[in-house]
Amino acid sequence: MITKMNKPDFYISSQSQLDDAVTLIRQANRIAIDTEFTRRVTYYPVLSLVQIALQDDAKKQKSFIVDCVCDLDLTELFAIISNSRIEKIFHSSRQDLQIFHYNSNAMPGAIIDTQIMANFCGFGFNAGYSSLVKKIFGRDISKKQQNSDWQRRPLSKKQIEYAIVDVVFLEEIYERFLALMEKNGRHQWYCEEVKIFMEKALLPQQENLLKNFAFKGLNSRQIAQIRNLVFWRENQAKKTNVPRKHFLSDEAIGQIVRFAFVGKNLVSKLSQEALFEIEKILASEEKFSGETGRFFMNEMQRKYFQEAKKLIADVAAKENFSAQFLLTSSDLTKIICEKSFFDETITGWRKEVFGKELKEIIFN
């Protein structure tokens, strides 16, 4: 069993050290990897560290911390992320993959995610890394350094310990989960889930930008204004590289639309060009005629919802999955209210496991 390590075997802060490390990493068939980054005052994450662990030819673990704050050319390291020959084990990989994709403009390849694997292995819905380490190895991992300043140098001893422990258990977790999934005939299901995850992780999900907005009580023109302001804000945040809510908060967007004018506090904060764009959106006669993503069930639909929830709970208990992993309440509500979403939501292994029974309830 892997023991908790207090420091990496290699702390890389020069180009020659990185070049040597990349040569060694390229020889591996599989690596465990994680990142630390900062995103407090920028739209795009600022990469601070890349942590890597691998087994050498003697089956001994080697661990690396790459200090990305140093003046390093990371091109060859990024090439490893997109190399489909070398498997990369992450835990909860979405933000890590987005960081690598943003910095390299290349698609990550051969990605393994132990959080997704845990969903198929009876560890609950989207279990955290520290939770898995505690349950599997009986080891406690402190999360106190998670939100520390990763751009400050020198890093503290506790920061380095926190960073490297995030990768040293990953490969053994992966091996245990892989054996369990193969034993239970779940590995193909996992492969399907990862494919869906990868398709969504790196593609902009425009509708997700609207999830914090309530459209109840707004007319179709106001809904169109909110949507257009949100999408305009996103483009401006990317262009200026500031967090979207620093540029213009959700609350400010809501107030602008509800009262149809820009308050004095925003007039002093925004540029004349930005104010002009906001006024142009407010003056538009465009009306939104599509789905807002907010669904409200009638009495019969609520009955179907309860029947379907019982079905999902029964299937989850049988498969030792979280019911939320099988089908979230929001997705269930969506397909009950708008049946055309059924076939795009219930696909692959989910369709195989409970699709027929769920369809009988919803299309009753």
| pLDDT digit string (tens) for the chain, length 364 residues | 334 456 899 999 999 999 999 999 999 999 999 999 998 899 999 999 999 999 988 889 999 999 999 999 999 999 999 999 999 999 999 999 999 999 998 999 999 999 999 999 999 999 999 999 999 999 999 888 888 999 999 999 999 999 999 999 999 999 999 999 999 999 999 999 999 999 888 876 776 788 888 888 899 999 999 999 999 999 999 999 999 999 999 999 999 999 988 877 787 788 999 999 999 999 999 998 876 666 778 999 999 999 999 999 999 999 999 999 999 999 999 999 999 999 999 999 999 999 999 999 999 7
Whether 162 contacts 142, CB under 8 Å: yes
Cα–Cα dist 117/114, whole Å? 5
What does the pLDDT read at residue 74? 97
What does the pLDDT read at residue 5? 56
> Cα(first)–Cα(last) distance of the chain, in Å?
53
- Residue 91 lies inside a defined structural domain of this protein: yes
Q: Phi, psi (5° rounding) for residue 113? A: -125, 115
CA angle 62, 63, 69 (to 5 degrees): 150
What does the pLDDT read at residue 204? 66
Cα–Cα dist 275/278, whole Å? 5
The CATH number of residue 337's host domain is: 1.10.150.80
Q: Are residues 213 and 192 in the same domain?
A: no
Q: Which two tokens stand for residue 19?
A: 């070049």
CA dihedral in degrees (325, 329, 332, 338; nearest 10)?
Answer: -140
Q: Are residues 161 and 56 in the same domain?
A: yes
Range of the structural domain that residue 351 is part of = 299-362
What does the pLDDT read at residue 263? 79
What does the pLDDT read at residue 268? 78
Scanning the structure block, which residue is given the tokens 């997704």?
116
Q: Are residues 139 and 186 in the same domain?
A: yes
What does the pLDDT read at residue 294? 67
Whether 339 contacts 327, CB under 8 Å: no
What are the DSSP calls for 223-247, one per residue? HHHHHHHHHHHHHHHHHHTS-HHHH
What does the pLDDT read at residue 3? 44
Q: Are residues 15 and 140 in the same domain?
A: yes
Q: Report the number of distinct structural domains present in the chain.
A: 3
Q: Are residues 124 and 244 in the same domain?
A: no
**Is residue 110 classed as helix, strand or coil in its secondary structure?**
coil
- Residue 290 lies inside a defined structural domain of this protein: no
- Residue 2 lies inside a defined structural domain of this protein: no
Last residue of a domain, one of 156, 173, 201: 201
Scanning the structure block, which residue is given the tokens 């040597």?
20
